[in-house]
Structure 1
Amino acid sequence: MKLLVIGSGGREHAIAYHLLKSPMVESVFCAPGNPGMKADGISCVNISEYAFEDLITFAKKEQIDWTFVGPEGPLFEGIVDQFTQAGQIAFGPNQAAAQIEGSKLFAKELMQKYGIPTASYASFTDQSAALSYLDQQSVPIVVKVDGPAAGKGVTVALTKEEAEKAIKSAFEKDSSQQRLVIEECLIGPEFSIFSMVYKGKVCHSLPARDHKRLLDGNLGPNTGGMGAFAPVGDISEDLYQETLRTIVEPVLVAMEKEGTPFNGVLYTGLMNTAEGPKVIEFNARFGDPETQVVLPLLKTDFAELINDLLHGRETQVEWMEDKACLGVILAAEGYPAKPIKGIEFALTSLMDPSMKIYYAGVSSYKPLISSGGRIAMITCLADSKDQAQKKVYQYLAEQDLKQIIYRKDIGSFLLKS
């Protein structure tokens, strides 16, 4: 098979890399990809992930068997709809179903209607009404900007002043169109589950845990993610099954009933509260950086699994439940607000086959030059989380990483919020 992956980050590097490992796959193209992918034999195509017509033309010319859409932006813009209309197979939700991530309000109203456990909330289109509501609430509290926000539209406010600032900032940008969701702050350890879905057939991943705060000790601003690991030891099998039964499966049924059936990858972000698992958010695609630690644990041939889903065949998915994978993100100084670009750096070759580097914001591979906030992720697959953590940090300690930052405590503690 010849496959196309849409996107350019570490998530897409992991997707393309694991698809290419399959004996069923002849070649994997990534549009636009990044230079670091080329070292793994992935063919980068200089076409923007939003240039749908050009992507379709390329897929037809190269006789691509199917396309895997990585990032949320093209999904919100209707890439799957356009591929389908052009007779091309694309794995991902259509524009209507992608609202589960694209609109916080859509997701909250869906959960409220179908009794899916989540935080209590109120929505606003008026700044003064939002501020009046805030006055009556306790902190911490969560302020979410409705609409696509690339993972950066959420403020977990520890003080009223912080929440007020988030509300005012949102309405300053576009007061006429803005909608906000203000919700209670759930307390407990976080975890996430990926569900690969196509026309009613579903395969669930092991639970993973992302570390979103910039600094050690879970401090500093929220980011796109500074590291992750899977599976999650404090999430028992009973809790995992309860989550599938009370949250993941009901939301897929709800989407079907609402006339927006979900196909592709549903990311369910969760908090294990004192009252049981509750939804923090849904995403309409694989998470980044969780993908980079989940896919290495997949025993099943990844390309075969997606291919079987797309063609309505029976699917079975097996995971390495006796292994663990952990990864640490390297980011440019100044991330997430104003990351420095153009940092030239070097990473020594990995001698250990259990370790892998997934590249993201790089404009050049030899030499390595940064082009974005999150630059790369160093991962390790081992017999335990502690073993994987030790190997990753030993490797990082040996690197000369001027102007590059990373957390020193990925996998070391429970994330409470």
Structure 2
Amino acid sequence: MNILLVGSGGREHALAWKIAQSPLVKRLICAPGNPGIETYAELAPVKADDAQGLVVLAREMRADLVVVGPEAALANGLADRLAAAGILCFGPTSKAAQLETSKAFSKAFMERHDIPTAGYGVYDRVKDAREALNVFKPPYVIKADGLAAGKGVAISPDKPDAEAEIERMLGGRFGQAGARVVIEEFMDGEEGSLFALCDGQRAVLFGGAQDHKRVFDGDLGPNTGGMGAYSPAPVFDENLVFAAEKQVVLPTMAAMAAEGMPYRGVLYVGLMATSDGPKVVEYNARFGDPECQVLMMRLAGDIVPYLLACARGDVSQLPSPAFKPQTVVCVVMAAKGYPDSPLEGSIIRGAEQNFGPHVQVFHAGTRRRDDGQLVAAGGRVLNICAEGDDITQARERAYEAVQKIDWPGGFCRSDIGWRALDRG
């Protein structure tokens, strides 16, 4: 098979690493890719948001399958264009991707189909949003409606803070993505990420993980795209997973098909484990980042048959994916100043050494200078992932690897996996 992988981050590096292991793969091209991905795939200088350019590339390489990593490509209708060209795509159409690309759409969808989630309101004027705060109780959950790279969520402890956040979002902080805001009830509980591989009618559960959204230790500071993750997540016990499948995943698939938007690809369901059972925090239309990295390391078998089955529209003949019993921890190293003003161009040394059989370093935001030096080229720059017999061993191995990387321009949280550790 010839496979085109779209994207350039840590998620795509992990996918390239796993896809390249498949005996089914003859040629793997990644567009645009990064210096780490180049070890496993040819790179093509086509940006992920260039839908037409990617279709042309897929035709030129005679791609049997296109695997879409980032949400921006899905929002731009890449899957629709590929379908029109007769090329199989792992990833939903732009209409189906609205589950992620518009929080207002996803909340209304859940309301229509009685899928458990928090109460909410949608507002496009500051005055109306501020008045709505009288209906909700603190802390206030305020979300930009559109795509904001994981940074469009604020949890405000009081009304003055919430009012300021509303004014920032509707005032242009996230551009068009913040033209509307969603205000939600605060859900008390523990959050996790559950994944399902979907063929438009059916879904196969694909494991769970827990990430760390806040930038600093102790879950302090602004929300980010994710500062670390681990899998398995203890919050996903058998009862919760069973309830989530029956009350969320399967109804979502059926409802999307019924509304003429059959969902193909991976469905990421952000879940809150509440005293009333699982409730949806958000949907994503792609693998989480950095959750994908830990899932790829735990997956025991070949990923390609699952990607292909989703794209073809039939996962019914595939067994449930098998995962290793080990725990995998991912520590994100970010550029100083992230998430607001990450410093770019700082030199990274030691990231490409051999860390041994239990550690993988995935590139999330790097580039190679003309002199061959590896430098930071984004906010989240490196993903240091390690497996262990339990959360303690996996964490130790991950942080030992972090210490071997010489990058004064970077930082990371030191408490990834703290919830699992607290459970003993």
Q: Same fold (TM over 0.5)?
A: yes
- Shift of the alpha carbon at 1:171? 2.1
Distance 2:142 2:223 in 1: 13
Instruction: Show the counterpart of 2:341.
Output: 338
| Within-5 A mapping of 1:282-293 | 282-293=283-294
- Shift of the alpha carbon at 1:20? 0.7
| Within-5 A mapping of 1:145-160 | 145-160=144-159
* SS in structure 1 of the partner of residue 419 of structure 2: coil
Asked if structure 2 preserves the Cα contact closer than 8 Å seen for 1:30 and 1:43, the reply is yes
Distance 1:415 1:387 in 2: 11
Instruction: Show the counterpart of 1:355.
Output: 359
Distance 2:374 2:250 in 1: 43
Distance 1:91 1:10 in 2: 18
1:376 to 363, 369, 382: 382
Q: Deviations for 1:90-128, whole angstroms, at most 9, x for unmatched residues?
A: 111001101101111111111111111111111112211
- Describe the shift of the 1:177–1:222 C-alpha distance in structure 2 as closer, same or farther (beyond 3 A): closer
Matching of residue 31 in structure 1 with residue 22 in structure 2: no
* SS in structure 2 of the partner of residue 195 of structure 1: strand
Q: Percent identity?
A: 37
Q: Indicate the larger mover: 6-15 or 132-141.
A: 132-141
- Shift of the alpha carbon at 1:397? 2.5
* SS in structure 2 of the partner of residue 207 of structure 1: strand
Ranges in structure 1 where 5+ consecutive residues have no aligned partner: none
Instruction: Show the counterpart of 2:16.
Output: 16
- Shift of the alpha carbon at 1:351? 3.5
Instruction: Show the counterpart of 2:215.
Output: 214
Ranges in structure 2 where 5+ consecutive residues have no aligned partner: none
- Describe the shift of the 1:414–1:117 C-alpha distance in structure 2 as closer, same or farther (beyond 3 A): farther
* SS in structure 1 of the partner of residue 402 of structure 2: helix
Asked if structure 1 preserves the Cα contact closer than 8 Å seen for 2:187 and 2:272, the reply is yes
What one-letter code is carried by the residue in structure 1 that aligns with 2:47?
A: S
* SS in structure 1 of the partner of residue 36 of structure 2: helix
- Describe the shift of the 1:340–1:55 C-alpha distance in structure 2 as closer, same or farther (beyond 3 A): same
Let me know the Cα RMSD of the aligned residues: 1.9
Asked if structure 2 preserves the Cα contact closer than 8 Å seen for 1:309 and 1:315, the reply is no
Distance 2:32 2:177 in 1: 34
Asked if structure 2 preserves the Cα contact closer than 8 Å seen for 1:22 and 1:304, the reply is no
Instruction: Show the counterpart of 2:91.
Output: 92
Instruction: Show the counterpart of 2:74.
Output: 75
- Describe the shift of the 1:198–1:380 C-alpha distance in structure 2 as closer, same or farther (beyond 3 A): same
2:368 to 364, 369, 372: 364
Asked if structure 2 preserves the Cα contact closer than 8 Å seen for 1:355 and 1:378, the reply is yes
- Shift of the alpha carbon at 1:6? 0.6
- Describe the shift of the 1:195–1:132 C-alpha distance in structure 2 as closer, same or farther (beyond 3 A): same
What one-letter code is carried by the residue in structure 2 that aligns with 1:412?
A: W
Q: Deviations for 1:364-401, whole angstroms, at most 9, x for unmatched residues?
A: 18421011101010001222121111111122223333
Distance 2:13 2:154 in 1: 29
Distance 1:52 1:121 in 2: 33
Equivalent pairs counted in the alignment come to: 415
What one-letter code is carried by the residue in structure 2 that aligns with 1:361?
A: G
Distance 2:56 2:332 in 1: 35
What one-letter code is carried by the residue in structure 2 that aligns with 1:229?
A: Y
| Within-5 A mapping of 1:13-412 | 13-38=13-38, 40-173=39-172, 178-311=179-312, 312=314, 314-347=317-350, 349-364=353-368, 366-412=372-418
* SS in structure 1 of the partner of residue 197 of structure 2: strand
Asked if structure 2 preserves the Cα contact closer than 8 Å seen for 1:305 and 1:317, the reply is no
- Shift of the alpha carbon at 1:208? 0.4
- Shift of the alpha carbon at 1:221? 0.7
- Shift of the alpha carbon at 1:210? 0.6
Q: Deviations for 1:56-78, whole angstroms, at most 9, x for unmatched residues?
A: 12111111111001000111111
Q: What's the TM-score once normalised by structure 2's chain length? A: 0.94
Matching of residue 6 in structure 1 with residue 6 in structure 2: yes
Distance 1:378 1:148 in 2: 26
What one-letter code is carried by the residue in structure 1 that aligns with 2:366?
A: V
- Shift of the alpha carbon at 1:136? 4.1
Distance 1:144 1:351 in 2: 39
Asked if structure 1 preserves the Cα contact closer than 8 Å seen for 2:51 and 2:76, the reply is no
Q: What's the TM-score once normalised by structure 1's chain length? A: 0.95
Distance 2:253 2:418 in 1: 33
- Shift of the alpha carbon at 1:176? 12
Asked if structure 1 preserves the Cα contact closer than 8 Å seen for 2:329 and 2:385, the reply is yes
